[in-house]
Amino acid sequence: MNSNPSDALVFYGVTGDLAFKKIFPALQAMVRRGHVDVPVVGVARSAWTVDQLRQRVHDSLEKHGGVDPAAFEKLSRLLRYVSVDYTDPAACRAIHNELEGARRPAIYLAVPPHLFAPAIEQLAKSGCAKDARIIIEKPFGRDLASAKNLNRVLHEVFDESSIFRIDHYLGKRPVNNMLIFRFANSFVESFWNRNYIESVQITMAEDFGVQGRGSFYDETGTMRDVVENHLFQIISNLAMEPPARNDSESLRDEKVKVLKAIPPIEPTDLVRGQFRGYRDEKGVAKDSRTETFVALRLKINSWRWKGVPFYVRAGKCLPITCTEIVGRFHKPPTLIPEAVLKENYLRLRLSPEVLIAMGMMTLAPGDTFAVEMSEMVASSAPRTGEMEAYERLIGAAMEGDGSLFAREDYVEEAWRIVDPALEKDAPIYEYEPNTWGPREAERVTPEGGWHNPMAATLSLRERVG
């Protein structure tokens, strides 16, 4: 196991969209903070020069966050470029020549999944994999069988402690803030369990479609794109027990335990939808049965959560772009007629803004002894200078900190849960854009209905009314 920081970053796929939109801005930010001062070797098939790569980086920064002249100049000095075929045995020799004596590179494979195996094979044969860390971009397989095969390929060359599977969602501050909310505040533990919580619902809504990525999305779908990874990470953070120690393996052990407690998805607990007009998108098959919406009900058979249903809903062309969690409490025993009461709830919004809200019954205006639902809200404005997800993740991988990365057993457990839901012949229901999915989703609706996220600009009375 290599516990030393990586002394170089090798980036396969440096001419691609991910590098342009996310990685170059992250690298400039890392240089500005003094977190990167090692060779950055870009690798791609295009017959570029290093000056062309520097120009590409400059263009990226102009469009995504702005150019910091001092940081860009330093980053430019660190950049190297190698034009090779990823599967060519000579590729690693060419990369090695640009490492300037570095012996512990972090190698980032931002390439199509079918290139993982040949690229890793060449890394092994050339000796470049020795003392290296490997970073791979999701998806980590398409189902349980392919995930296991990918893990086998990785483990033929790398120890699990040197493998960093990037899901950018785990680099987002609000996602990790859930753990702080739960484990740094003693009052939360008193109610965050089956004794007080009736149900938990999670909505990840997008008000846009596939945005020109029809070919990609038609091979992926909502289940693979966000449920198996992003939403399961949210569920793990919500449902896990406090880790025994403050280290990456203890933290990831508890997340895996959550997934182990979730049975595979049953057909009766799943509704798939497709927005009207999806099949007209460029790159989408005219008879496509790929889902753009999923609603499902999960069970977590743990001591804390047994009997509490977790409802998950995600989709495109919904009324708003927002990720929100609502935990509904059991109604209290009271002299007030039950029909008048609404469940108290805890509401956590992760994006686009961050807030924590408590829904509760209060005395309504007027002379009568009437009650109404009110909401107490604490919000968090965006922090200037906050690390973006990829900056945080690349830095952690180069330091060898696995806390923010999916481990082998976590990935396989996640696929085990969703595997039954990946059958293309499962029913799919059409829904109109700008609605909350197909009518058939009522089959997996929480008792009391879904709490539909609304725009943050609405007044309190409009939000809860």
Enzyme catalytic residues: 230
Q: How far is CA 286 from the centre of its chain?
A: 29
User: Closest Cα to residue 112, out of 139, 83, 151?
Assistant: 139
> Would you state the torsion angle of the CA atoms of residues 430, 433, 435, 437, taken in this order, to the nearest 10 degrees?
30
Rounded distance between C-alpha atoms, residue 175 and residue 222, angstroms: 19
Local structure of 464: helix, strand or coil: helix
Tokens matching residue 5: 């920081």
Residue 429 has φ and ψ, to the nearest 5°, of -120, 135
Instruction: Concatenate the DSSP letters of all residues of 96-145 into one string.
Output: HHHSTT--SEEEEE-S-GGGHHHHHHHHHHHTTTTT-EEEEESP--SSHH
Q: Are 95 and 125 in contact (CB under 8 A)?
A: no
- Cβ(12)–Cβ(109) below 8 Å: yes
**Residue 40 and residue 70 in contact, taking contact as beta carbons nearer than 8 Å:** no
The tokens describing 373, both together, are 């639902």
Helix (H) or strand (E) holding 363: strand 354-363
Distance CA 192, CA 189 (A): 5
> CA dihedral in degrees (3, 5, 10, 13; nearest 10)?
80
